[in-house]
Chain A
């Protein structure tokens, strides 16, 4: 039976999967982070195509309308994805701050070395 909602869900899931693969192909999305999007798209695609399984799961959970479960799962997925990327951003922030601090320390040491070299050259000249 033709179900517009199911067609839309399948279409969007397939589109998301192809989009992610294309971004990876163009090196715009790293493979490390692509897996979460590919996993999500594959799960959504599987649930979209298996309407009977979706309806049975929704009924088991007390959800009257199957696609509503799909929407809930999408929400959970987005939450998990955001949390995952927040963790990555936090780690990278620490790394960036460390780099900035180390850069300042290296510049100071370079200044000291240059000052010492200049003093040595001055001593050599006067000698």
Chain B
């Protein structure tokens, strides 16, 4: 496997350096690409000093746009596996080898780290946890695979997933739609248990208004995505 660590970042100047140090410490052999999604807090200014490859989007596109740009970069540079790690410090780099091991040894196209899959660590609570549970149950029913953490951003994508997602990674807060999209396009996703932390700094972009809009968008996608046609895959990885 030729693996790239992809870190999309929007206004994560407080945590990005620490995340990269952790990746270097835990998986030193793996190259890192940071995609700065038009940050306004100085994230872009620290990139040259971090010793990583980086892309800078001229306009804020959200996680979907940052991931599409990063995945196309990976395709062009000849990588066949990409691990998405969030820049807020929630994901632990030490878990990356386990994700990659599952991807390599099982006949699957993507692996996602679930904080509710029998592991310890930070877990959401209250209404948010209730919504995640309900969404997870729905996705489990539709995809036929257990989904316990439908909003996890800790993914590893194999070659077939790269062919699709460089052009079609969903927009917005896309994790639930990602499950459906990959399933609709006949790709296999497996969940594995990981330990996550709470956000280590900065602020979430999910305001109450955005959360409400996101929920409506997710509800629409749950109906529409399974009805879409399969998309054509990019021929080269």
Q: Are A101 and B68 in contact (CB under 8 A)?
A: yes
8 tightest A-B CB contacts, nearest first: A101-B69, A104-B55, A104-B57, A100-B59, A108-B55, A104-B69, A97-B65, A101-B68
A97-124 at interface with B (beta carbon < 8 Å): 97, 100-101, 103-105, 107-108
Q: Are B58 and A105 in contact (CB under 8 A)?
A: no
B30-74 at interface with A (beta carbon < 8 Å): 35, 53-59, 61, 65, 68-69, 72-73
Complex interface: chain B residues within 8 A of A105 (CB): 55, 69, 72-73, 76
* Known contacts A97-B68, A105-B69; 17 further A-B pairs (Cβ under 8 A): A100-B57, A100-B58, A100-B59, A100-B61, A101-B61, A101-B72, A103-B58, A104-B35, A104-B55, A104-B56, A104-B57, A105-B55, A105-B72, A105-B73, A107-B55, A107-B56, A108-B55
Query: In the assembled complex, how far is the CB of residue A35 from the closest CB belonging to chain B, in whole angstroms?
Result: 28
Q: Which residues of B contact A (CB under 8 A)?
A: 35, 53-59, 61, 65, 68-69, 72-73, 76, 171
Query: In the assembled complex, how far is the CB of residue B5 from the closest CB belonging to chain A, in whole angstroms?
Result: 16
Nearest CB in chain B to that of A96: its residue: B59
Query: In the assembled complex, how far is the CB of residue B85 from the closest CB belonging to chain A, in whole angstroms?
Result: 19
Complex interface: chain B residues within 8 A of A107 (CB): 55-56
The one of B53, B61, B68, B171 that contacts A108, using a Cβ cutoff of 8 Å:
B53
A68-127 at interface with B (beta carbon < 8 Å): 97, 100-101, 103-105, 107-108
Complex interface: chain A residues within 8 A of B171 (CB): 97
Interchain Cβ contacts under 8 Å between A and B, 27 examples: A97-B61, A97-B65, A97-B68, A97-B171, A100-B57, A100-B58, A100-B65, A101-B57, A101-B61, A101-B65, A101-B68, A101-B69, A101-B72, A103-B58, A104-B35, A104-B55, A104-B56, A104-B57, A105-B55, A105-B69, A105-B73, A105-B76, A107-B55, A107-B56, A108-B53, A108-B55, A108-B73
A100 to B37, CA, bound (A): 10
Most B C-beta atoms less than 10 A away, residue of A97, A104, A107, A108: A104
A101 to B167, CA, bound (A): 10
A101 to B171, CA, bound (A): 13
Nearest CB in chain A to that of B64: its residue: A97
A107 to B73, CA, bound (A): 12
Query: In the assembled complex, how far is the CB of residue B165 from the closest CB belonging to chain A, in whole angstroms?
Result: 12
Most B C-beta atoms less than 10 A away, residue of A97, A103, A107: A97
Complex interface: chain A residues within 8 A of B76 (CB): 105
A71 to B6, CA, bound (A): 55
Query: In the assembled complex, how far is the CB of residue B163 from the closest CB belonging to chain A, in whole angstroms?
Result: 16
Nearest CB in chain B to that of A93: its residue: B171
A119 to B59, CA, bound (A): 31
A108 to B68, CA, bound (A): 15
Q: Are B54 and A108 in contact (CB under 8 A)?
A: yes
Nearest CB in chain A to that of B167: its residue: A98
Complex interface: chain A residues within 8 A of B53 (CB): 108
A31-68 at interface with B (beta carbon < 8 Å): none
A30 to B53, CA, bound (A): 42
A17 to B69, CA, bound (A): 44
Query: In the assembled complex, how far is the CB of residue A103 from the closest CB belonging to chain B, in whole angstroms?
Result: 6
Most A C-beta atoms less than 10 A away, residue of B53, B55, B56, B72: B55
A97 to B35, CA, bound (A): 14
A100 to B62, CA, bound (A): 12
Nearest CB in chain A to that of B62: its residue: A97
